[in-house]
Amino acid sequence: MGSNDRTEILAIQGLSKTFGDTVALDKVDFNLCAGEVHCVVGENGAGKSTLIKILSGAERPDQGRIAAFGREYGHLTPEQSLGIGIATIYQDVELVTSLTVADNIFLGRELRTRLGLVDYRAQNRAARKLLDAMNIAMPATALVESLSPAQQQSLQMVKALHIKARIMIMDEPTSALGVEETKALLEVVRRLRSQNIGIIYISHYLQEIFEIGDRVTVLKDGKVTDAGEVREKDIGSITKSMIGREQAVLYQRDAVKAGEVILQVRNLARPSLFERVNFDLHRGEILGFGGTVGTGRSALMNVIFGAFRRSAGDIILNGRAVRFASPWEAIQQGVAMIPEDRKGLGLFDLRSVLENIAIVKNEIGSLVLNHGEEKRAARQLVERLQIGTAGLRQAIGLLSGGNQQKAIVARWLLSEAQVLIFDEPTKGVDIGAKTQIYGLMTELAKAGKGILMVSSDIPELICMSDRIAVMRHGELVTTVDAKTVTEEELLGYFLGVSDSGGIARG
């Protein structure tokens, strides 16, 4: 799989780090060879982020040693990390979206003319060579804001390549990508590996490990619980090392009998995003929305929630036509949304867990806040949802991704919402937290709520949905029974090709 050059370029021994009473890393050993992909997996809070921060110089270990390219360090500074060729590519893209592709590649290291001015022509030519070398189809002069999420992730890798990175740390690089975009990005990773770059690859999608990985290290509660060649592992053994027990790849959801129609969408449209969408949602039903990224699924949900304006069509809630001018009006009418962009649209990062959970209840409640009742309700939900927090007063931005997501769900459990929209509900969430979120969604369905779920994860769509609405090129092309459709058939519908090779029709 990897390069024949098995030269060790990074070795970590006995790395430990504590934050107060929390042990983030406990005597961790890890190494990386040139030309290999070494995957790191574990639940949220297992220590993956702390390991990344220590290697990038953002955190200092309490003990242990780091050896990179033959030189030993007690700790690394950010300057040292970059200087020896370690580049970190985070899940949240760190690019200047108002600048061009070439400008981002050369940001801080601009090519200049004799007069000291930025030589944009030279930068564009050099950027084009870098992109061509990686076989990435992307205009050097395109604004980053016009690129797809996959293209932006690829650009981050090209930028790292430009600064002569010899080790790339990739943190959940495909978490925001659809099926085809993920394939394209993994191909870029393979090209980097062929250039003898060592890659530390972190992902919650265990299937990716078997597609891209040479070795895997499993972390649990700050300790290494398993490590070895990927070819000697399977999903069951890795999952057991992560969470301490075997777990089925597909969640086994309790069946819920669907009730009357709660939401009807008729000929809904928003130009350039989606056209003439029709569907019904029943009480107790989870209606999944699948398709490749950019097919209009999230835009459709934003129109239903009042965040985007429609250009045509009707939304009928409980038999009555509604026209929400804002999300606030949708919330008042019983429609809730857990957005895909948890950090940007779902959280008040610097505010407490208590405030983040109670915000909607307070907004739609009385003018006088009952702080005692607010605390009791929030505390009960933290215990029920097993939200890992140091207390209700802890800033929610300090929680792991899975715990942040559970806190957003808790917010809506305090409301009277009847229709809940889950847009990529387990994006960036570990296996244990996924199971809890699935359980909550099932509870909501049992309580007679109607759920719309957008997901780019095909196994998730199949195991959690009753029916799956497939969107392609801004249209809802077909709806299939989740109990009978296979992963291969569903992917065929996404791409517009049926099993027989023909076009999948709605």
pLDDT digits (tens, 9 = 90+) for 319-350: 999 999 999 899 889 999 988 877 777 777 78
Report the distance separating Cα 340 and Cα 89, nearest Å.
20
Which residue segments constitute the domains of the chain, with CATH numbers given? 8-243 (3.40.50.300), 261-334+417-495 (3.40.50.300)
Report the distance separating Cα 430 and Cα 203, nearest Å.
9
pLDDT (0 to 100) of residue 505: 30
Residue type present at position 154: S
Q: pLDDT of 456-488, one tens digit each?
A: 888 889 999 999 999 988 899 999 999 999 887
pLDDT (0 to 100) of residue 362: 58
Is 80 exceeded by the pLDDT of residue 22? no
Residue 198: both structure tokens together: 């060592």
Q: What is the overall mean pLDDT for the chain?
A: 85
Q: How far apart are the first and last CA of the chain?
A: 40
Is 90 exceeded by the pLDDT of residue 101? yes
Is 60 exceeded by the pLDDT of residue 398? yes
Q: Kindly list the distances between the CA atom of residue 316 and the CA atoms of 261, 270, 289, 468, in Å, as whole numbers in the listed order.
A: 10, 17, 19, 20
Nearest to 253 by CA among 285, 296, 297, 221: 285
pLDDT band at 416 (very low <50, low <70, confident <90, very high): confident
For residue 357, what is the enclosing H or E element? helix 353-364
pLDDT (0 to 100) of residue 3: 45
Report the distance separating Cα 267 and Cα 311, nearest Å.
10
pLDDT band at 504 (very low <50, low <70, confident <90, very high): very low
360 vs 160 pLDDT, higher one? 160
What is the mean pLDDT of the segment spanning 399-403? 77
What is the mean pLDDT of the segment spanning 126-141? 87
Report the distance separating Cα 82 and Cα 66, nearest Å.
15
Nearest to 167 by CA among 79, 35, 346: 35
Biggest distance spanned by C-alpha atoms of the chain: 74
Q: Is 307 exposed, middle or buried (0-12, 13-18, 19+ CB in 10 A)?
A: middle
Is 60 exceeded by the pLDDT of residue 188? yes
Residue 329: both structure tokens together: 């009006």
What is the mean pLDDT of the segment spanning 36-42? 93
For residue 39, what is the enclosing H or E element? strand 37-41
Report the distance separating Cα 493 and Cα 498, nearest Å.
6
Report the distance separating Cα 506 and Cα 500, nearest Å.
16
pLDDT (0 to 100) of residue 245: 53
pLDDT (0 to 100) of residue 501: 35
Is 90 exceeded by the pLDDT of residue 28? yes
Pairing of strands 320-322, 475-481: unpaired
Query: Are 193 and 221 spatial neighbours (Cβ–Cβ below 8 Å)?
Result: no
Task: Outline where 172-296 has alpha helix (H).
Answer: 179-194, 206-212, 235-243
pTM of the model: 0.61
